[in-house]
Amino acid sequence: MSPPVELLAFAGVMVLGQFSPGPDMLLLTRNSLKRGGRVGVVMALGIATGLAVHATIAVAGLALALERLPALRETMRWLAAGYLLWLAYRIAVAHFVVWYSGGSREERAEISTGNPYLQGLACNLLNPKAAIFLAAASAPFLRGAHPAWWPFAIWGILVGQAAVLWSAWAWLLQWAPLRNRYARLEQWIDLAFAAALAGLSIRLMWG
């Protein structure tokens, strides 16, 4: 298989991995719908920054070391679970507190607003499975004889594809009929997102 074809095959494999359901997609979808495409792109760049760290670990062959350090892996797992649970709480309280006090939609948005870049970065960076998944997906493409630039090309695909595709997803969610539907059902959709994040947190806690 020629290098361009092999890189194209790797990019195809990673497209499926990037868009598998998970906390990154949940947070990006919710923030893009609620706060607009620009905020979604900023969060996408935060996710891509986290993936840059995981991609470096994967390409450098350090994921095996992470696999052999159960204490570190467990610490990251509990931190990720706690972070997702905190985000779920923030989304839920933004509705219940304001509903109870009779506040406005703007006040509800203010309560649930956080730095989108840091949210995306923390959500991705705290997930130890990301490094292990990227290592497993990239390992077959790193074996054998390749040019010196090959690991950098693999890294570039991992990070660049994440930044471009997640940003494109954030803008696709700005389709007017979709945003209008979200505006009408905002409280229920947000609470569904909060429940999904809490479910992912519990799943992490149970290992």
Average pLDDT, the chain: 80
Six-digit token string for 113: 């607003």
Give the long-range contacts of residues 93-97, CB within 8 A, separation 24 or more: 94/190, 95/187, 95/190, 95/191
pLDDT at position 110, please? 45
How far apart CA 73 and CA 81 sit, in angstroms, is 12
- Sequence-ordered list of residues with C-beta below 8 angstroms from that of 68, at least 6 positions apart, any chain: none
pLDDT at position 68, please? 66
pLDDT at position 128, please? 67
- Give me the residues of the chain with pLDDT under 70, please: 1, 21, 61-69, 72, 94-113, 128-129, 207
- Sequence-ordered list of residues with C-beta below 8 angstroms from that of 207, at least 6 positions apart, any chain: 77
pLDDT digits (tens, 9 = 90+) for 100-154: 444 445 444 444 557 899 989 988 888 766 777 777 778 788 877 888 888 889 8
How far apart CA 28 and CA 169 sit, in angstroms, is 9
